[in-house]
Chain A
Amino acid sequence: MDLIVNGKPIAVKKKPGEMLSDLLREQLGLTGTKIGCNEAECGACTVLVDGKPQLSCIYPAARADGKQILTIEGLASRTPDDRKPNLAVDIERRFKLHPLQRAFIDYGAVQCGFCIPGQLMTAYALLQTDPDPEEGQIRHALKDTLCRCAGYPTIINAIKAAALTMRTGDHLPSVDISESEEPLEVIGSLQPRPDAVGKVTGEAKFTDDLQFEGMLYARVKRSGVPHAFVEHIDTTRAKALTGVLVVLTAEDIPGEKYHGLVIPDWPILVGVGERVRYVGDAVAIVAAESKEIASQAVDMIEVVYDPLNIISDPVQARKADVPSLHPDGNLLKHIKVRKGEIEHGFAEADVVLEHTYHTVITEHAFLEPECSVARLTTDGRMEIYVGSQIPYADRNQVANALGWSEERVRVIGQLMGGGFGGKEDIAGQIHAALLAQATGQPVKLLFDRQESLLVHPKRHATQIRVKVGARTDGRITAVETELYGDSGAYASLSEKVMTRATTHSSGPYQVPHARADCYAMYTNNPPAGAFRGFGVTQSAFAIESMMDSLAEKLAIDPIELRSRNALRVGSVTNTGQLLRESVGLLECIDRVEDEMIRTAGEHPFEPKIDSDYHYLYRAWGFAVAYKNTGLGGGAPDKAGAEVELFENGTLEVRTSSAELGQGLVTVLQMIVAQELGQSTDRVRVLVMDTDLTPDGGPTTASRQTYVTGNAALFAARTLRQAIATTFADKFNQPPESIRFVNGLVQLNGHSIPLGDSVKEMRVEGHEPRAQYEYWAPTTEPLGHGGDMHFAYSFAAQAAQVEVNIKTGEVRVLRVIAANDVGKAINPLGLQGQVEGGVMMGLGNALTEHFIVEDGEVFTDRMARYRIPSIMQTPQIYSIVVEHPTADGPYGAKGIGEIISIPTTPAITNAIYNAVGVRIDRLPVDQEEVVRQLSKNRG
């Protein structure tokens, strides 16, 4: 059949069962078109067929016969250039970008980049038919093109700006985001991402876009049963299938048989006589010549199970008469917080309130499913290509399973289409490596969306009882909490997550007497682990709901109640930490309050009834939060970074820390540019390669700007010092007199191009690079008092909701979010984090529910697990508060998680204010709202 792809006539053979996305990606190598779900839900695969946006994942290739196809690769015109690009600017020079692409870059609409081809193609089609769309039309056009980084407001602004440019021919209007309060030359200014050009042109390669000679395709046989002993595994038929190279089971693992980031309790493969503990457990793995053959082989593997009783929730798991899932029982950890005398605290109280809240399992739903490629090199090493949040932990765990030394394994991190905590544990890395080891051929293991949903660790479902005592003036005297966390089948990071949930469970308040007990319990549900917010999402919902109930009981304004109790400099947290600096909570509260009153008038918490539709009730709700930066709790928290200068004046900064869309690469680029007086576009960033980049530690706990940021900062300063010393000797000047400005080294009237220092240093016998291992300030374990964390971020949010009292439907209209980030290093990247964080909190409140019943996953498709879309996106107003922390780079602390935490309780508090229904169970069930409303009326 003949078709025209991006203007070029192409003749291809029709293949049975082939979709347009397969044709584009596999036959034509146009990998810019992404597969996020392969079930017509996410829109990432959108291409234009005869000018109309279509989902290429369910568009039969044969139907494209005679048609014109436009993919992301066809949006920009390009100049051929065979030279290897050195910097982002070199890549950019090859393209004449479409105004939409330019706007997406400059406005910061690109984050992880995985959905961007779909966003751009859908937006392009819209502007072809309507050059001046209203915001409503943009939303409607992008209704089914999901972005989990969720910078929807910025995407809308970028499309509007591009449309204006296209209509008028004028330059792109500049983006309406403020710089940091006190910007330096680079730090605090608005910087587009270094990888943005690749991401808007389709050039950017994610793991599934890689192809190797002789590459095989892997699939995993999953247990499909939540709890059973494996009695028998028969792989004979699968092995006999033509095209199958190898089928492996537990006994074929040469090294360690378990993995796990904290406790190695997770079997790589469950063998005969062993126990499967959840439906996603792996029983066998297959490598074959094609995906289809591998899938067919997996179906031919027969496994006989002896089913066992299923433990489906953490409260049940703690009962005496249930089976033990692990040798030490079902209690993974009992976590305790003790401060003061709790009984004394309640005795002092005039009012005591107690209530129990429930949150459900939720899912990261990063748009790029997990993918690993393993490849043996000719010198006998194993390369793993993967988008992972902890490359060095992958290296260690893969090496252990292979029975090799770590040095024989190299993890080469790839662009990641979102992670949010869900790409910390091992997914397919070990399986791919075992198959590559067994076959000697490269092996790709791509999870389909269903497998991704079933297998990787989730956000913990929790039950949280909160008891609070307060004086009539609003002063809190005591908070007691009891938490149950559903850790699922394996430990993952559960203990850490639930520790964070527990220590944060009395909220960002001065509580003289606190007591918290948390039971992290093993169950037969999918494992629970890291997910943006790291446990604090759940406990903040509980305590912030309780704070509004307390305010009502005491007849105190809920903002006033929070302000009176808020942590401030000089406060002692419930773990006994004296806060000596950088506590911007009160400013966050004040500024959100001011903005809310400016928008809503004097009584934002009183319900307003729509003048036309008398069943629509609107009100605002308020919530605050805090979240630690860094690992804390006594864990050594360090990161390495290396900075190198080249003769052409360019620099490279290297660290294994992960870029998952959050913008670390921009932060590192800016820090090095700032320290060496070079422009950002002359700084390359290399991340996530265990051969080439020093260990930056896990990308978790909102730690990378602080920890790896500091490593890059000190590496850059060390290099600067070495350069200064070289010139100081040569020109006989004190090193302090030497300045680094605009790519020049300036001293005593001389201006020497920065790159020239390379030769000078080599003459002196020095290499023009510096490595630095940064150790964050020491922290204390829970229970020891002192500094459990080296920094905290703070936030306040107000949300306005509209409740339909007839149907119970809830819409969020506006969110005002203030975040104390210490220092806004890149306000453009921060904006994306704010929008995405708010949307993730909104999803947690209204749309997301990962349903597991008796260990069986009901929500095993994207169609059943709904993440918020552009249609649900409220107006988001961001306020940046900067209370610098002394040891953070330029005062910066973590921002990745804090933003998403107060959104959920702000929304549920607003619902209460609007219609008097207290949500104590997430997500909001509109049917329950109606039920409560009729109960309240009756």
Chain B
Amino acid sequence: MNLWEEYHLATSIQDALYTLASAPGSARVIAGGTDLLLDLQQGRHAPVHSLVDIILIPELSCLEARKSGIFIGAAVPLQRITASSIIYGHTRALQEACGLIGGPQVRNTATLGGNVAHALPAADGTIALLALNARAEVADIKHTRIMELQELFLGPGRSALHPQNELLVGFHLPFSGDSDGSAFRRIMRPQGVAIAILNMGVWLRRADDVIRDILIAVGPGGPKPFRAKKTEDFLRGRKMDDAGITRAMDILISEASFRTSRHRATRDYRCHLAKILLEDTLKIAWERSHLE
């Protein structure tokens, strides 16, 4: 059986949504396809009637600074994000995360939209977006709406997006101010699948020696991409010092549910790494908040 029958290169959001809805059989959106095509080839996803390719839709391949902030189209390849000076200047954590995904060939194809749409709890791009307070723009045949990123996730690999009626258009990120800084780090294993054992993104805003505001995202810290809100609450308004970081580590461990996954890492090791990553990302983001 063929993995797909029809391949449609959509030229507009309307075109894509219409084709999805009117396909005579199952239909799926394809952006880079670096995950979806493997799922199809390896039988984790049943063959589909139609693949609706969205990479030619102008709005979805747009990456620009707008009045209200930065917009990254869902179909922008990771390579463009990594190389973008806007991204580097305002959302360092995202630039770092996208630079770590795959090799150059994959980064020329894979998209941030795909990274998010797969709803994996430790996807590097997703974790960085979460730490940067990104919001998602989603279109259906009638209108377009903006939603919190976390609303997109129902569980591991389960997205709230309707596969045939909705389309992820892109992401809106706030500009970075002079006293803001962000960072992304991950720890890998040299054996087995190239997915982070643990990754973390931090954004913070400083006022002198105080953390005025902070966002922390960690993966996998639960069935969905995890925001460490209790840790954020504890650190928000505190002076940046080692005692605070040590205390924050414990809070992070207690609020995230780090689990043992076979052939990858035990819960203990993940807890251990979470502390290391928290300290690293906090300190780097803090340094950057001087510079940016």
By a beta-carbon cutoff of 8 Å, the part of chain A in contact with chain B is 14, 16-17, 19, 38-40, 43, 46, 52-55, 58-60, 62-63, 65, 122, 125, 140-145, 292, 296, 450, 806-807, 809-810, 846-849, 851, 858-859, 861, 863-866, 872, 923, 926-927, 930
* 21 CB < 8 A contacts A-B: A16-B2, A16-B7, A17-B4, A39-B41, A40-B38, A54-B105, A55-B34, A55-B106, A58-B37, A60-B33, A60-B37, A63-B55, A122-B105, A142-B103, A807-B273, A848-B191, A849-B191, A861-B42, A866-B192, A866-B194, A930-B269
Assess the A38–B103 pair: CB atoms within 8 A: no
The residue of chain A having its C-beta at the shortest distance from the C-beta of B99 within the complex is A140
User: Which single member of A54, A142, A145, A863 contacts B109 (CB below 8 Å)?
Assistant: A54
Contact digits for B9-46, partner A, Cβ 8 Å, 1 yes 0 no: 10000000000000000000010011001100110000
**Bound complex: CA of A122 vs CA of B38, how far in Å?**
22
Cβ of B3 within 8 Å of any chain A Cβ, yes or no, is yes
| Seed contacts A58-B37, A63-B55; 13 additional CB < 8 Å A-B pairs | A17-B47, A53-B108, A55-B106, A58-B38, A58-B41, A59-B109, A450-B42, A807-B273, A848-B191, A849-B192, A866-B194, A926-B190, A927-B266
Interface size on B, residues (CB 8 A): 41
* A106 shortest CB reach to chain B, Å: 26
Contact residues, B163-204 vs A (CB, 8 A): 187, 189-194
Q: Give bound CA distance, A735 to B189, whole Å.
A: 66
Let me know if B244 is at the binding interface, CB within 8 A: no
Closest B residue to A143 using CB positions:
B103
B291 sits at the interface (CB 8 A):
no
A861 to B33, CA, bound (A): 18
Number of A-B residue pairs, CB cutoff 8 Å, is: 114
Tell me if A40 and B7 are in contact (CB < 8 A).
no
Do residues A60 and B30 form an inter-chain contact, with CB atoms below 8 A? yes
8 smallest A-B Cβ distances: which pairs? A144-B103, A17-B2, A62-B7, A16-B2, A143-B103, A17-B3, A927-B269, A58-B37
**When the two chains form their complex, are residues A807 and B276 in contact, meaning their CB atoms are under 8 A apart?**
yes
Which of B104, B108, B194 is in CB contact (< 8 Å) with A140? B104
User: Given A143-B104, A930-B272, do A55 and B109 touch, yes or no (CB 8 Å)?
Assistant: yes
Q: Does B89 contact A (CB under 8 A)?
A: no
Which residues of B in the span 57-112 have a Cβ within 8 Å of any Cβ on A?
79, 102-106, 108-109
Set A40, A810, A864: member contacting B192, Cβ < 8 A: A864
Q: How far is the CA of A168 from the CA of B30 in the complex (A)?
A: 44
Q: Max chain A CB contacts within 10 Å: which of B1, B104, B194?
A: B104
Interface residue? B53 (CB, 8 A): yes
**B-to-A contact residues, CB < 8 Å:** 1-7, 9, 30, 33-34, 37-38, 41-42, 47, 51, 53, 55, 79, 102-106, 108-109, 187, 189-194, 263, 265-266, 269, 272-273, 276
Considering the chains assembled together, what is the distance between the CA atoms of A838 and B191 in angstroms?
18
**Chain B positions within 8 Å of A62 at CB level:** 7, 9, 53
CA distance A46 to B102 in the complex (A): 14
When the two chains form the complex, which single residue of B38, B105, B191, B269 contacts A144, counting CB atoms closer than 8 Å? B105
**How far is A859 from B262 in the complex, measured between Cα atoms in Å?**
12
**How far apart are B9's CB and chain A's nearest CB, in angstroms?**
7
A806 and B276: CB pair below 8 A?
A: yes
B62 to chain A, nearest CB (A): 18
User: With contacts A16-B4, A17-B2, A17-B4 known, is A53 near B190, CB below 8 A?
Assistant: no
Nearest chain A CB to B246 CB, angstrom units = 15
Q: A863-B194, A864-B193 are in contact. Are A55 and B2 (CB under 8 A)?
A: no
CA distance A458 to B266 in the complex (A): 28
CB distance from A749 to the nearest CB of B (A): 63
A927–B265 contact, CB under 8 A? yes
Residue in chain A with minimal CB distance to B280: A806
| Cβ 8 A contact of A923, one of B42, B53, B191, B266 | B191
Which residues of chain B come closer than 8 Å to A39, judged between CB atoms? 38, 41-42
**Which residue from chain A places its CB closest to the CB of B108 in the assembled complex?**
A52
Whether the pair B105, A55 counts as a contact (CB closer than 8 A) is yes
Contacts of B41 in A (CB 8 A): 38-39, 58
A19 / chain B contacts, CB cutoff of 8 Å: 37
Collect the chain A residues with CB atoms within 8 Å of residue B194's CB. Answer: 863, 866
Give A808's nearest chain B residue, CB to CB: B269
Which residues of the other chain, A, contact B53 by a CB distance below 8 angstroms? 60, 62-63
A451 to chain B, nearest CB (A): 13
Instruction: State the Cβ distance, A61 to closest chain B Cβ, in Å.
Output: 8
List, in ascending order, chain B residues with CB within 8 A of A807's CB: 187, 273, 276
User: Knowing A40-B38, A60-B7, A144-B102 touch, does A863 contact B193 (C-beta < 8 A)?
Assistant: yes
B106 pairs with A40, CB closer than 8 A: yes
State whether B2 touches A65 (Cβ < 8 A). no
Which residues of chain B are within 8 angstroms of A54 by Cβ–Cβ distance? 105, 108-109
Contact yes or no, B191 A866, CB < 8 A:
yes
The interface residues of chain A lying within 8 Å CB-to-CB of B191 are 846-849, 866, 923
Q: Separation in Å of the B5 CB from the closest CB of chain A?
A: 5
- What chain B residues lie within 8 Å of A809 (beta carbons)? 187, 190
For B5, what are the chain A residues with a Cβ–Cβ distance below 8 Å?
Answer: 16-17
- Contacting residue for B51 out of A43, A55, A60, A859, CB 8 A: A60
Q: In whole Å, how far is B277's beta carbon from the nearest beta carbon of chain A?
A: 9
Give B280 Cβ to nearest chain A Cβ, in Å. Answer: 9
Task: Tell me the minimal C-beta distance from B96 to chain A in angstroms.
Answer: 14
Contact of B263 among A58, A140, A142, A858 (CB under 8 A): A858
A contact residues around B4 at 8 Å (CB) = 16-17
Contact A141-B104, Cβ < 8 Å, known A40-B38, A863-B194: yes
Query: In whole angstroms, how far apart are the Cα atoms of A810 and B220 in the complex?
Result: 23
Pick the residue among A14, A847, A851 that contacts B7 (CB under 8 A): A14
Also in contact, A63 and B9, with CB within 8 A (given A53-B105, A807-B273, A848-B191): yes
Smallest CB gap from A868: residue in B: B190
Residue B1 contacts which of A122, A140, A292, A806 (CB distance < 8 angstroms)?
A: A292
Complex CA–CA separation, A851 to B191 (angstroms): 11
The chain A residue with its CB closest to the CB of B37 is A58
Minimum CB–CB distance from B251 to chain A (whole Å) comes to 20
A-side contacts of B273, CB under 8 Å: 807
Known: A16-B4, A923-B191. A53 touches B104 (CB 8 A): yes
The complex places the Cα of A54 from the Cα of B110 at a distance, in Å, of 10
Contacts of B104 in A (CB 8 A): 53, 122, 125, 140-141, 143-144
Q: In the complex, what residues of A have CB within 8 A of residue B42's CB?
A: 39, 450, 861
Between A38, A40, A141, A847, the greatest number of chain B beta carbons within 10 A of the residue's beta carbon is seen for A40
Most A C-beta atoms less than 10 A away, residue of B1, B53, B79: B1
CA distance A851 to B189 in the complex (A): 15
Q: In the assembly, what is the distance between CA of A657 and CA of B72, in Å?
A: 57
Chain A positions within 8 Å of B265 at CB level: 927
CB proximity of B92 to chain A, nearest CB, Å: 18
Q: How far apart are A796's CB and chain B's nearest CB, in angstroms?
A: 25
B109 proximity list for chain A (CB < 8 A): 54-55, 58-59
Chain B nearest Cβ from A840, distance in angstroms: 15
Tell me the minimal C-beta distance from A465 to chain B in angstroms: 25
In angstroms, Cα B251 to Cα A487, docked, is 49
Q: Chain B nearest CB: distance from A856 CB in Å?
A: 12
Q: Which residues of B have CB within 8 Å of A145?
A: 103, 105
Measured CB to CB, the nearest residue on chain A to B279 is: A806
CA of A17 to CA of B7, assembled, Å: 8
CB-CB < 8 A to A849: which residues of B?
191-192
Contact in complex: B105, A296 (CB < 8 Å): no
> Chain B residue with minimal CB distance to A860?
B42
With both chains docked as a complex, state the minimum distance between the C-beta of B156 and any C-beta of chain A, in angstroms: 18
Report the Cα distance A286→B140, complex, angstroms: 46
In the complex, A926 Cα to B53 Cα: how many Å? 41
Looking across the interface, which residue of chain A has its beta carbon closest to that of B2? A17
**A807 vs B51: C-alpha distance when bound (angstroms):** 42
**Chain A residues within 8 Å of B276, by CB:** 806-807
Bound Cα distance from A122 to B33, whole angstroms: 20
* Least CB separation from A55: chain B residue: B105
The chain A residue sitting closest to B276, CB to CB, is A806
Distance from B261 Cβ to chain A, minimum over Cβ atoms (Å) = 12
For residue B259, give the distance in angstroms from its CB to the closest CB of chain A.
Answer: 14
